[in-house]
Amino acid sequence: GKKSAAWSSSDDGLTWTHLADLPVRAGELHSVEAADGSLLVHVRDKRETPRGVVQDTLQTHSTDGGRTWSKPRWVAAGYPSHLLRLRDGTLLATYGSRTPPLGIRAKASRDHGTSWSEEFFLTTDAPNWDLGYPSTVERPDGQLVTIWYEAPADDRHAQLRQARWELP
């Protein structure tokens, strides 16, 4: 019974207006406004395959302020995605990969999310599948910093890791 939906507030969150239900499942969504004004939403999704359940990231977008949304399409074999618009308008998606090589991956879009680059790796050294939920910021000098959680091989307590990097 859960739904993903777009809501709008014009009074700093005191009241809200429902704009539309999104054509994706509810859960682990992240959104960003692209430089052209379109809205992108990435959602963690799953699908059945002959090898078992595969976790993916799907994308839907709106070009009318959230009133209508596109049919979802596949973006990445990882989840959940964190979206960031860089100062130059490039969109960046960072996400965890719980299939080998285990670690944090990313893709970039220079056309407002219409297409995405080949994925590239921030890390590939995770000791097991228990990792993810990255978040990325752009520093004033243009470098990127991504943090995520990761469980060590010999401990049930997760730790935070970070990477400072630049787009390839």
Which residues does residue 110 pair with via DSSP β-bridges, in sequence order? none
Tell which residue, 114, 95, 120, has the closest CA to residue 29: 95
pLDDT of 14 = 98
- List C-alpha distances in Å: 90 to 30, 65, 84, 126: 16, 20, 8, 28
Residues 6+ apart with CB under 8 A from 90: 108, 109, 110, 167
pLDDT of 30 = 95
pLDDT of 53 = 73
Q: Residue 157 and residue 50: Cα distance in Å, rounded?
A: 33
Three-state secondary-structure class, residue 19: strand
Q: How many angstroms from the chain centroid is the CA of residue 48?
A: 21
pLDDT of 105 = 97
- Kindly list the averaged pLDDT for each block of 10 residues, start to end, along the chain of length 168: 91 97 90 98 85 85 98 93 97 94 96 97 94 97 97 90 94
Q: Residue 150 and residue 128: Cα distance in Å, rounded?
A: 8
pLDDT of 168 = 84
Look at the alpha carbons of 146, 88, 56, 20 in this order and tell me if their dihedral is positive or negative.
positive
